[in-house]
Amino acid sequence: MDWTFFFLMVVLKLPVLALLGIVWWAVRAVPEPEVGPSGDGGSPKPNEPRPNTPRPGPRPRGPHGEPSPPSPPRARPARGVRAPSRPLRP
């Protein structure tokens, strides 16, 4: 019997069997009941109104509140103008 054949047919099947065993164990496991405080968990209820708190404004740019940078130039040519065609290679 060749050792390569034995390795491929037996040894490499062990991780597959281990995975099947873990899945079988997880399916059969009984979920544990949650133990903890019986509070509301801190999330707001759907019918409860949210508090009216103002949102913070934009942060100033740089140490002295520099203005925002200008917008980039247009990337598309104006309507009706065709882009020049590239010359063919000789």
* Residue ranges per structural domain of the chain: 1-27
Element housing 33 (H / E): none
Amino acid in position 44: P
State mean pLDDT over 21-38.
Answer: 83
Spatial separation of the C-alpha atoms in residues 81 and 74, rounded to whole Å: 14
Per mean pLDDT, which range of 27-36, 42-51, 71-80 is the poorest?
A: 42-51
Residue 60 has pLDDT above 70, yes or no: no
State mean pLDDT over 65-83.
Answer: 71
